[in-house]
Every structure is written in C-alpha cells, then in structure tokens.
Amino acid sequence: MENNTRNHVLAAVESQLPLNRIAYPAIPAFPKTVTDLLTAFEQRVADAGGEIFRPADAVAAQALLASQFPGASVICSVTPEIKGNRDIHAVQNPHELADVDVAVIRARFGVAENGMVWLTQEDLEVNALGFLSQHLVILLSPQSIVCDMYDAYLRVHLEDTAYGCFMMGPSATADIGAVLVHGAQGARSLSVYLL
C-alpha cells in the first residue's frame, strides 16, 4: 500500500510534467558588499536584538556571565571555557533542561550579512538546550565570521549533522498588533561573547 502510494504520486507528477524542461541556471559569483566582517556582524547582531560582548579571556567571560545573570540558578555550559552547574552530558531526556536559566554554547561561525550564528546538534549536545533555556550565551571566535549566506552555505555540512540552526538573535514575534516582542517561545535574550 505504502509503495503503491509512492509510485502513484511519482507517476502522477511524471505524467503532468511541463513539456519544456528548464535548465538549472548559471549562478554568478556575486560581488561582496561587506568588507569589515566583524564590524558588520556586530551591528547585525544588535539589529536582530542580540548583544555583543568582548571579554578578554575565559576568566573575564565567566565573570561577565555572573554579572549579566546574577539571578540565574541553573547554568548549563557546553563549552570548556565557561563553567555551569548542570552537566549536559548527564541529560537523558530533553525535559530535564526545562529549568535552565542560561545556556552557554560555542558557535561554529557567524555571518556578517545578518548576524546569524551556526549551531549544530554536536555544539548543543541536546538540541533542546538551545530552545528551552531562558537565555543564551554564544561563544564565537572573532576570526570565524563569513561574509554572507552564499559563503555560509559553503561552511555548513548538512550531511554530517542531523540538526543545524542559523540563529539570528533571540526569539521574536510581532503577531500582536505588529509590535516586536522578544522571547516569544525560544530564548528571551541572546548574547554573543567574542572569544
């Protein structure tokens, strides 16, 4: 039955194909408009509702985190630089992350064009960490910034990871009265620590 349906759909599509088969277009190399990648990235993160910080080293970053989130009781870090108090490797079920106040994750790279950071399942350990946590701190090497989405898609390897997300600032919505509100469902805030 299942196989039947499959063949049915494929045959239906086959029988309805337009006679004129369109060729795949040539894609030119578009000129790069962003020159100073880091500056552009910083501005775009701010535009998207995120915040940029430049801690001098891991110790400074740890202190920054403490001062940024003085009330946080559960901090879960997937990075060696920052210490938290919830061990991500001990998590058996995503529900255990429902009480996380701050998650700390290292992004593979950022995109200057729009302020996105690329996070994969391997970076998150448990995907839910990126979404159940109230606040996100993203560590990013200032050297790891690509120019635009064309370059960004050369750096993702979808064949190697079951989940990858370009995250651009915190969760947002404008569904009520077209007023922008952060923290609709995912993280309420997103801080990028350039480190």
Partner 1 sequence: MGDEKKVDVAANAAAFLEQDEVHEPMHDKNLWAARMHRDAAARAVPEWEELRKIASQIKEHTLTHLPDYLREFENNALKRGAKVYWARDAAEHNQHVWDILQEKNIRAVIKSKSMLQEECGMTAFLEKRGITVTESDLGERIQQLDDQPPSHIVMPAIHKTPEDVAQLFARSIGTDPGNTDPHYLTEAMRNDARKRFLEAGAGMTGANFAIAETGSFVVCTNEGNADIGAAVPPVHIASIGIEKLLPKVSDLGIFIRMLSRSALGTLATQYTSHFSGPRRGGELHIILTDNGRSRRLGMPDFWTSLKCIRCGACMNTCPVYRRSGGLAYGATYSGPIGIILDPTFDESRYSELPYHSSLCGSCTEVCPVKIDISDQILKWRKVMAAKKYLPVSRRLAFGAAGRIFEHPQLFRSAESMASGALRFTPHFLLYNKVLNPWGRHRELPHFAGQTFREWYLQYRAKNNDHGEQHT
CA distance 81 to 178: 39
Q: Which of 78, 137, 145, 152 binds partner 1 (CB under 8 A)?
A: 152
Is 161 a binder of partner 1 (CB under 8 A)?
Answer: yes
Nearest to partner 1 of 55, 115 (CB atom): 115
Q: Which of 114, 138, 193, 194 binds partner 1 (CB under 8 A)?
A: 114
Is 35 a binder of partner 1 (CB under 8 A)?
Answer: no
Q: Give the burial class of 27: count Cβ atoms within 10 A of its Cβ; 0-12 exposed, 13-18 middle, 19 or more buried.
A: exposed
CA distance 190 to 51: 7
φ and ψ at 170, to 5 degrees? -80, 175
Give 145's strand partners.
Answer: 110
For the segment 70-99, give every residue that binds partner 1 (CB under 8 A). 94-95, 98
Number of residues that bind partner 1 (CB under 8 A): 76
Nearest to partner 1 of 39, 59 (CB atom): 39
For the segment 118-147, give every residue that binds partner 1 (CB under 8 A). 121, 126-128, 130-132
DSSP code string of 12-54: HHHHH--SSPPPPPP---PPP---SHHHHHHHHHHHTT-EEE-
- We find the least distance from the C-beta atom of residue 106 to partner 1, in angstroms, to be 18
Nearest to partner 1 of 72, 147 (CB atom): 147
Give 106's strand partners.
Answer: 139
Burial 174-195 (b: 16+ CB within 10 A, else e): eeeeeeeebeeebbebbbbbbb
For the segment 4-33, give every residue that binds partner 1 (CB under 8 A). 5-6, 8-10, 12-18, 20-25, 27-28, 30-31, 33
- We find the least distance from the C-beta atom of residue 80 to partner 1, in angstroms, to be 21
